[in-house]
Amino acid sequence: MGFVEEFVFQNYCRPILDYSGYNFINTLTYGAILLAVAFFVFLPVLRKLGIKFDYRFALAVLAFVLFGSTFRILEDLKVLPRSCSPLEFSFYTISPGVYILIGLITFAVVLATHWLSKKSGIAHYKILGTSGLIFAAPFVYFSIINFKNPLFFFLIIALTLILAIIAFFAARHFKKEFAADNLNLIAVAGQALDGTATFVATQLLSCGEQHPVSNAILGFFPIGFILIKIALAFLIVYYIDKEVMDANTRVFLKIVIMVLGFAPGLRDTFTVGVGTCN
């Protein structure tokens, strides 16, 4: 095995096969690819079609995030296998492949429902959101009937709601304009869910954490992990509002932040519910 093959295997393939998940190299690679596709492929195409991003569109997209997160549970339950070969379907049952699969499905449905909206006169977000819920429903149902830890599942939901409410009142007290934008609060709530789910999984259920930076923070100051996630979300969204002039681009950026929080957060929450840890 040559240097390149060995490098690829050690940094991208082995973490998939041995369940170690992420390292600094593959995290940076996946992140760069995700952002490049989002801003140089998805955004230009959707903008050219005249698709408007707003709070309702974000909620519709959130249905597809739920779809992807619960679809991912099938591999956790060993219903579907995993592979590090992009030529095999089982590559698309786990990260990073599952992001590619769900992203392409979502993008295709956004385009199809946009066309259908024009033909039918029904609001785009309604058709898109309904489509996402239809995709998600069987996987949510399958996850729920396989729950082993419903108490911890609802604990994560309850803690996230409490944190979201605290964040809302804090934002309204310090900066009313921030709290007036529902999408800002959804973006923060997504990061709160991700942080809370990770905290409960690692601290109360002794699950492992696959992200190296997150693992370091959890090892040093566990509760601080949640606070850092929320604080960073606030700062990033505040910066977006302050520096990004184009309204459509602002909303798109906030949707990206929302997805980056809810996608792993919902996956971890349902993983806790079904009682599997990698």
Of 109, 110, 91, 111, the closest CA to residue 100 belongs to 91
What does 72-119 look like in DSSP terms, one character per residue? HHHHHTTSS---S-TTSGGGGGSTTHHHHHHHHHHHHHHHHHHHHHHH
What does 17-50 look like in DSSP terms, one character per residue? HTS----HHHHHHHHHHHHHHIIIIIHHHHHHTT
Q: To which residue do tokens 């900066």 refer?
A: 175
Judge whether 278 and 21 are in contact, CB under 8 Å.
Answer: yes
Of 11, 14, 18, 9, the closest CA to residue 278 belongs to 18
Domain boundaries, the chain: 3-274
Which residues contact residue 219 at a Cβ distance below 8 angstroms, ignoring those fewer than 6 apart? none
Which residues contact residue 87 at a Cβ distance below 8 angstroms, ignoring those fewer than 6 apart? none
Distance CA 132, CA 225 (A): 30
- Looking at residue 146, the DSSP 8-state letter turns out to be T
Residue 131 has pLDDT above 70, yes or no: yes
State pLDDT tens for residues 181-232: 889 989 999 999 999 999 998 888 877 767 777 777 777 777 888 888 999 9
Average pLDDT over residues 136-147: 96
Distance CA 106, CA 63 (A): 10
Length of the chain: 278
pLDDT mean across residues, the chain: 90
- Whether this model's pTM surpasses 0.85: yes
Average pLDDT over residues 153-180: 87
More reliable by pLDDT, 132 or 205: 132
Residue 1 has pLDDT above 70, yes or no: no
| pLDDT score recorded for residue 278 | 58
Q: Quickly count helices (H) and strands (E) in the chain.
A: 13, 0
